[in-house]
Chains A and B, each alone.
Chain A
Amino acid sequence: MNPLNSVGHREPRVDALLRVTGKAEYTGDVKLPGMLYARLLRSPHPHARIKSIDISKAQALPGVRAILTKDNCDTVWSSGDSLGQRKLFNNPLRFTGEAVAAIAAVNRHVAEEAMSLIQVDYEVLPFVLDVDKAMEEGAPEIHPGGNLSPNNQRRREPQTYTRGNAAKGFTEADRVFESSFTSSHHNNAQLELRTSLAYWEGSKLTVYASTQGIVNCQRDIAKDLKLQEADVRVICHYMGGGFGNKNQSHDFDLFAALLAKEAKAPVKVEFTRKEDFVAVHGRWSSKQQYKIGVKNDGTLTAIQMVAKTGSGAYRKSSCDLSGTEIYQVPNLETSTTPIYTNTAVAANYRAPAYPQGVFGIESAIDDVAYALKIDPLEFRLKNMTRKFRDQTPYTSFGLEDCLRKGADSFGWKQRWKPVAGSGAGPLKRGAGMAMGMFGSALGRSSAVAKVDAKGNYSIHVGVTDCGTAAKTTMGLIAAEELGVPLNKVNVVWGDTDTCPYSVGESGSRTTVQTGDAVIQAVKDLKKKISEQGMPKGTDEVMVMVTTNPAQIQGASRQSFVAHFAEVEVNVETGNVKVTKFTAAHDSGRVVNPLTAESQVQGGSIQGIGMALHEELRYDQRSGQPLNAGYYGARIMTHMDAPQVDVLWVETEDPYGPFGAKTLGEPTIIPTVAAVANAIYNAIGVRMHDLPMTRERVLAALQGVKA
């Protein structure tokens, strides 16, 4: 791969100084004169109809300036569900923590006191927490029409994929294996609390949001408040992590705007951490069943997956499962049915459909490999995808190198035990691995490039940089194309008044899609300079481009990844410790190895937390969440985090900015499965349920269901 001048070099973030001095201004740090603070009153019931709300006492409390309830607000929060029907205030209430009232007051203490003065008369309704029970005859109906949640085409049907004929594939198999797996709802848990600050100037609305997509957020707010997009300004200069579903407006943005209008003052809405866990969203749970047909030589003949996923009380995202696409198999049938329950809403969290799906398929495949006495690494090398859906070639393909080089670097041959569970003493070590892929398509985005008379370049992009170093990435891409050092490029971001459309930081698309726009903008700028010369005095030369490349014909563009984990399991205490972790990634050309490494570190360690700890638990009799928050979720700490060895498999890809592919989400895709497979290798007992807690490990060792 040809070396470049800026791209491919380890560069500290362009905004790092502000991040280490406390000067980076996050949404919650913004304070405006006369600003009010708002809090939410929430449903204490998992399912209830509001018979009446009496806000008179709260209104009478000195300092209370505005109260919204279903009685005076029927605004639709269109990105709250895939049907565009969810309101800010719904009746009936469908999960514990659903919004009942929003209160703005002179300070947060008064707002909180006002909450306790609102009297709500509830008719408590029967509720259901479990996806299987939700599909039983006579189960409480959460939305009219039943608990099979409709997709965005309004069809109540499973999401399916079929190629070949699985039944035929199973008859051709020498052996057929069946197994099932479950995963739990767990939370994004970004460190920044959910907050939004809005104010009006006449009919113009400004929202300081915490968003991964300022332009999408602007569009959604305008739509729901029936405003012109040009009358909505969204600002997000720094935001404290996202990990999904921040590429649109949130209810707190709308609450802030509506309360600000009512109170005629700026309003900052603040959610507590418990509200973040219970009332925003987390990754959807799943129950997965696999049937795998295989020849005695290890050739796959058929895979069938039938799954249910838990969408929670509203269907906000796909609730799909991914993972089987990583195998070459002539007969494949998958079916995923998203189901409503009276629990927290599920939505996107870093590679939304992947780590739980990959946990399922990669655990099931692991069992097949052991049963056939084939090294799991060899089994994957034999059966890994070589063409997308066994049909379309890849634009670049680094999966085999991720497997081979990753295994070498990890020391697979020394660490993996041919006989799972072998080894004396209570401390048992084992190694496991898993693989994954993630789309890296081209798509629409925009950028502005300009230069002043002194030769200072500015790149305006509609990114917010949720921690991915997107600003720095855009700066490096521009610097490379301009042939100037990074410090000659000023990146302007995070404000719809000064930045054009960006795809938004979801789907790991910014580097590729906005990066392509930046390259085109720079090319156009250079052309314009060559035609009209450099600007003079206070003039600037400026171009704005929107790139919308046609989808690649006859080829599929994907990133690939293989993760390798070694664990030490204490079979007496059930303690699981990750002792070595290697992450091999093909994300094409790596734009900034320093910050890209951070992405891999973070995704892997988050994935280990998902594997071992995280789950939102409910009291089954009351439908109340029990462990909302960082303590309860057992989020990974410094002491839990193992070393992560990052290995780049840089393939040459003809598309994207200098051949860069997606990275942020692939980093968590195979992690959970790699840990699960390592536990199996260590103890010789298969873990079927996430998270793989101490109690489940001990129960598995004793052959009982935890």
Chain B
Amino acid sequence: MKKISRRLFVEGTGAGIVAVAIPLEGQAQSAPAAPTTASNAPKTTIKLTINGQQRSMEVEDRWTLVEVLRDHLQLTGTKIGCDRGECGACTVLVNGKAVYSCSQLAVWMDGRTVQTIEGLAQGTKLDPLQTAFIEHDAPQCGYCTSGQLMAAKALLNSNPKPTREEVRAGMTGNLCRCSNYNHYVEAVMAAAGTLKSGGAA
């Protein structure tokens, strides 16, 4: 259990208000015992497959998957919208399943297969989802789009002909603050139609 070193009741003035000072994140007023720098943080070498490419790399144990993708592999198509598992912008596929890459440590990915937005198109041939997203004007600002695409990809992988309700449920972990939800759903259904008429699965 974390040591609570900040007893924080301070008598306010005025109407006998009790003020409680709660630091925002990262502001514990007690000094940590031994500051850790990048040089002495625990590290582990992991092997993983990213977009079909096998990689071996040393990661700090505390690094999240999205941090590794964006900061260390320059795969910046995956976005961070909240870094708290609340928005879905960082959605990638791990062993074919959609997960929040902000909510996985990279060290846990040892031996796994990761697919990101950069691995969605086959060379210059767009995935049917990408084509449908363009035609239906699914992205507005586009910041949530990579995550929406990967969530949609995972959905169609397991359910190639989803109903409208199934699309909404399958993608509900992906917020779009531009709120272009209906265009996203229509695009996914259009892509599913493409798949039905003989496109790649």
A107 in contact with B38 (CB, 8 Å): yes
Contact mask B63-89 → A, CB, 8 Å, 1/0?
000000011001111111111101101
| Contact of A110 (CB < 8 Å), options: B28, B37, B182 | B37
Contacts of B18-34 to chain A: CB distance below 8 A: 18-29, 31-32
Q: Is the CB of B37 within 8 A of A115?
A: no
Residues of B within 8 A of A31 (CB): 71, 74, 76
Q: Which of B9-17, B93-101, B105-113, B193-201 is the interface stretch? A: B9-17
B143 to chain A: closest residue by CB: A240
- Contact between A637 and B145 (Cβ–Cβ < 8 Å)? no
User: Is A621 at the interface (CB under 8 A from chain B)?
Assistant: yes
Question: Which chain A residue shows the least CB distance to B37?
Answer: A62
B18 — nearest CB in chain A belongs to which residue? A621
Question: CB distance A124 to B37 under 8 Å?
Answer: no
Stretch of A305-313, A492-500, A543-551, A596-604 with 4 or more beta carbons under 8 angstroms from chain B: A596-604
Which residues of the other chain, B, contact A597 by a CB distance below 8 angstroms? 137, 183
> Is A413's CB within 8 Å of the partner chain B?
no
Known contacts A273-B84, A639-B172; is A622 also within 8 Å of B141 by CB? no
Contact (Cβ within 8 A) A629 B82: yes
* Contact flag A124-B182 (CB < 8 Å), given A19-B139, A240-B79, A629-B86: no
B 158-192 binary contact with A (CB < 8 Å = 1; else 0): 00000000011101111111111111110000000
Q: Are A635 and B141 in contact (CB under 8 A)?
A: no
**Are A42 and B24 within 8 A (Cβ)?**
yes
Q: How far is the CA of A636 from the CA of B178 in the complex (A)?
A: 10
A100-121 CB contacts (< 8 Å) to partner B? 106-107, 109-110, 112-113, 115-117, 119
Q: Between A and B, how many residue pairs show CB distances below 8 Å?
A: 258
A26 CA to B135 CA, complexed, in Å: 22
Find B134's partner among A12, A193, A599, A601 (CB 8 Å cutoff): A12
Tell me if A484 counts as interface (CB < 8 A to partner B): no
**Chain B neighbourhood of A115, CB < 8 A:** 26-27
Q: A63-B38, A602-B180, A637-B175 are in contact. Are A20 and B80 (CB under 8 A)?
A: no
Cβ–Cβ < 8 Å partners of A87 in chain B: none
Interface string of A443-469 (1 = CB under 8 A from B): 000000000000000000000001111
List B contacts of A192 (CB < 8 A): 79, 81, 141, 143
* Distance (whole angstroms) from the CB of B36 to the closest CB of chain A: 7
Instruction: Give the interface SS of chain A, mostly helix, strand, loop or mixed.
Output: loop
* Residue among A13, A127, A466, A639 having the largest count of chain B Cβ atoms under 10 Å: A639
- B172 proximity list for chain A (CB < 8 A): 637-639
Contact A61 B19 (CB under 8 A): no
- Say yes or no: B141 contacts A467, CB within 8 Å: yes
Q: Are A272 and B25 in contact (CB under 8 A)?
A: yes
B171 touches A16 (CB 8 A): no
Q: How far is the CA of A622 from the CA of B12 in the complex (A)?
A: 10
The verdict on A154 contacting chain B, using a C-beta distance below 8 Å, is no
A643 to B164, CA, bound (A): 11
The residues of B that contact A63 with a CB separation of less than 8 Å are 37-38
Q: Quick check: A113 and B35 within 8 Å, CB to CB?
A: yes
Residues of A within 8 A of B180 (CB): 598, 601-602
A190-B141 Cα distance, complex, nearest whole Å: 9
B-contact bits for A50-62, CB 8 A (1 contact / 0 none): 0000000100011
| Smallest CB separation, A324 vs chain B (Å) | 27
Cα-based distance from A41 to B23 in the complex (angstroms): 9
Q: Is the CB of B182 within 8 A of A644?
A: yes
Say if the beta carbon of A126 comes within 8 Å of chain B.
yes
Least CB distance, A297 to chain B, in whole angstroms: 40
A117/B35 in contact, CB under 8 A: yes
Write out the residue numbers on chain A whose beta carbons fall within 8 Å of the beta carbon of B29: 116, 119
When distances are taken between beta carbons in the complex, the residues of chain B under 8 Å from A138 are 14
Given contacts A109-B62, A240-B143, contact A20 B126 (CB under 8 A): yes
B157 at the interface (CB under 8 A from A): no
Residues of A within 8 A of B84 (CB): 273, 629-631
Separation in Å of the A187 CB from the closest CB of chain B?
Answer: 10
Indicate if the CB atoms of A193 and B13 lie closer than 8 Å.
no
- Let me know if B24 and A275 touch, CB within 8 A: yes
Which chain B residues lie closer than 8 Å to A125 at the CB level? Answer: 13
Residue A122 at the B interface, CB < 8 A? yes
In angstroms, how far is the closest chain B Cβ from the Cβ of A318?
23
Asked if B53 is at the interface (CB within 8 A of a chain A CB), the reply is no
Beyond A107-B38, A601-B179, A630-B86, whether A638 also contacts B174 by CB under 8 A is: yes
| Interface flag for B114 (CB, 8 Å) | no
Q: How far is the CB of B44 from chain A (nearest CB, A)?
A: 16
Contacts of A61 in B (CB 8 A): 35, 37
Q: Are A605 and B41 in contact (CB under 8 A)?
A: no
- Report the bound CA distance from A22 to B92 in whole Å: 12
Query: 8 Å CB contacts to B: which residues of A6-46?
Result: 12-13, 16-17, 19-26, 28-29, 31, 39, 41-42, 44-46
A191-B89, A191-B176 as given contacts; A624 in contact with B22, CB under 8 Å: yes
Shortest Cβ distance from B124 into chain A, in angstroms? Answer: 10
Which single residue of chain B is at the shortest CB-CB distance from A240? B143
Chain A residue with Cβ nearest B145: A19
Cβ B74 vs Cβ A602 within 8 A: no
**Which residues does chain A contribute within 8 Å of B130, judged by CB atoms?**
20-21
Q: Are A44 and B22 in contact (CB under 8 A)?
A: yes
A92 at interface (Cβ–Cβ under 8 A)?
Answer: no
Q: What's the minimum C-beta distance from B177 to chain A, rounded to whole angstroms?
A: 5
Least Cβ–Cβ distance between A424 and chain B, in angstroms: 27
Identify the closest chain B residue to A594 (Cβ): B137
Known: A62-B37, A107-B38. A619 touches B32 (CB 8 A): no
| A604-B179 Cα distance, complex, nearest whole Å | 8
- Residue pair B19, A635 in contact (C-beta under 8 Å): no
A278 within 8 A of B: yes
Residue of A nearest to B14 (CB): A126
Let me know if A189 is at the binding interface, CB within 8 A. Answer: yes
- Asked if B27 contacts A44 (CB within 8 A), the reply is yes
Interfacial chain B residues near A468, Cβ < 8 Å: 140
Are B77 and A273 interface neighbours, CB within 8 A?
no
Residues in chain B near residue A243, CB distance under 8 A: 177
Specify which chain A residues have a CB less than 8 angstroms from the CB of B24 in the assembled complex. 42, 44, 96-97, 274-275, 278
Residues on A with beta carbons closer than 8 Å to the beta carbon of B71: 31
Interface string of B113-146 (1 = CB under 8 A from A): 0001110110000100010011101111111111
Interface members, chain A 272-304 (any B CB < 8 Å): 272-275, 278
Which single member of A106, A272, A598 contacts B183 (CB below 8 Å)? A598
Q: Report the bound CA distance from A192 to B179 in whole Å.
A: 14
Contact A191 B143 (CB under 8 A): yes
| A45 contact set on B, CB distance < 8 A | 19, 21
Closest to A47 in B: B19
B151 CB to nearest A CB, Å: 9
B21 x A124 contact (CB < 8 A): yes
Contacts of A57 in B (CB 8 A): 31
Q: Is A29 in contact with B169, judged by CB distance below 8 angstroms?
A: no
B110: shortest Cβ distance to chain A, in Å?
A: 21
Query: Would you call A411 an interface residue if the criterion is a C-beta within 8 Å of the partner chain's C-beta atoms?
Result: no
A124 touches B121 (CB 8 A): no
> How far is it, in angstroms, between the C-alpha of A190 and the C-alpha of B177 when the chains are bound?
6
Judged by a CB distance under 8 angstroms, whether A595 is at the interface is yes
Which of B31, B83, B177 is most buried by chain A, counting CB atoms within 10 A of its CB?
Answer: B177
Cβ of B81 and Cβ of A636 under 8 Å apart?
A: no
Q: List 10 A-B contacts (CB under 8 A).
A: A20-B126, A21-B117, A21-B120, A26-B79, A44-B23, A116-B31, A191-B141, A274-B24, A597-B137, A602-B179
Q: Which 10 A-B pairs have the closest CB atoms?
A: A22-B77, A240-B143, A467-B141, A22-B117, A19-B142, A605-B179, A622-B20, A641-B181, A467-B140, A29-B76
